[in-house]
Amino acid sequence: MKIWIAVLSGCLCATASATGPARLTICADPNNMPFSNQARQGFENKIAELIAQRLRRPFVYLWWAQRRGYVRSTLNEAKCDIWPGVASGVDQVATTHPYYRSTYVFVSRADSHLQGLTLDDPRLRSISIGVQMVGNDANNTPPAHAIASRGILNNVRGYMLYGNYAQPNPAADIMAAVEQRDVDVALVWGPLAGYFAGRSTVPLMLHPVTPAAGSPWPMTFDISIGVRAGDAALLDQVNAILVREQPAIDVILRNYRVPRAH
């Protein structure tokens, strides 16, 4: 599997002088909307750049596709300083306090009238279902595990979380599948679903996947900024900014239609 890597300047100001602040290097995927892309259009781009502004540091991006080994090859090798959009408490990195919490959602066409679905709804055994897949091993998305654990297999279609990276927005294939009736319903990570539902020409219906807890596969997650383990000073600085700028961050998240969970 090829890893795409490039460095692109994204400075708010001229390159730091010998006596000026050190630049902040941001880890980001160059083709992963609504989170980030190389045109800096994602909400994680906006939040990371807000942090750089408040730190008063010029910034650059380290563009790297978020495949396996991402943390080891980027943050942990000191190639970048912060990684936006990481699950709180994830191994290998230090994480800030959460700046949002979201959930997996059921996505269906409004004209399909599939309101009120839960993971235990008997309708899931007779309709076609799309789930996001990471790979063919045990490391998969929570909805994929939850559906399989209920013996729902023959009517399930997997859509790779990474998709065809040669195309724009590869992770959005699962949303297109709902629009085109390739599947009746899909279980999709909320920020991806909310953003592309808002851009769809077909009215789509989203509601949280429930039960969201009480199993080995939770459906809701706190999201933080990742910092290299041991960089306590930067972690403290970013935490302070997140607290102070939470109202501005909330506006960004609303503009991208990120579903919020409690």
Distance CA 192, CA 180 (A): 17
Q: Which two tokens stand for residue 16?
A: 């730091």
> Domain tally for the chain?
2
Residue 261 lies in a domain: no
Return phi, psi of residue 193, to 5°: -65, -45
The rounded distance, in Å, linking the Cα atoms of 192 and 172 is: 7
Q: Given the structure tokens 């279902």, which residue do they identify?
A: 129
Domain membership flag for residue 135: yes
Contact present, 221 and 67 (Cβ < 8 Å): no
Please tell me whether residues 61 and 96 are part of one structural domain.
yes
Give the model's pLDDT for residue 75: 65
Rounded to whole angstroms, the Cα distance separating 210 from 218 reads 9
- Is the residue at 250 inside a domain? yes
Q: Is the same domain home to 112 and 179?
A: yes
Q: How far is CA 229 from CA 85, 92, 238, in A?
A: 16, 7, 14
Give the pLDDT confidence score for residue 54 in this predicted structure: 97
The 3-state secondary structure of the chain, one letter per residue: CCCCEEEEECCCCCCCCCCCCCCEEEEECCEECCCEECCCCCHHHHHHHHHHHHHCCCEEEEEECCCCCHHHHCHHHCCCCEEEEEECCCCCEEECCCCEEEEEEEEEEHHHCCCCCCCCCHHHHCCCEEEEECCCCCCCCHHHHHHHHCCCCCCEEEEECCCCCCCCCHHHHHHHHHHCCCCCEEEEEHHHHHHHHHHCCCCEEEEECCCCCCCCCCCEEEEEEEEECCCHHHHHHHHHHHHHCHHHHHHHHHHCCCCCCC
Residue 131 lies in a domain: yes
On whether the pTM is more than 0.75, the answer is yes
Over residues 27-84, the pLDDT tens digits come to: 999 999 999 999 999 999 999 999 999 999 999 999 988 766 566 656 656 688 999 9
Pairing state between β 129-133 and 156-160: parallel
The answer to whether residue 214 is domain-embedded is no
Place of tokens 């595990």: 145
Phi–psi pair at 130, nearest 5 degrees: -105, 135
* Assigned domain for 260 exists: no
104-122: per-residue pLDDT in tens? 999 999 999 999 999 999 9
pLDDT at position 6 is: 40
Residue 57: which CATH number?
3.40.190.10
Report the pLDDT value the prediction gives residue 215, as an integer from 0 to 100: 78
Tokens found for residue 54: 């408040």
Identity of the residue numbered 57 = R
Assess contact for 114 and 106: CB atoms under 8 A: yes
User: Percentage of the chain with pLDDT > 90?
Assistant: 73
Residue 215 lies in a domain: no
Domain that holds residue 251: 5-100+222-255
Q: Is 213 part of a structural domain of the chain?
A: no
Question: Is residue 1's pLDDT more than 70?
Answer: no
C-beta separation of 32 from 195 below 8 A: no
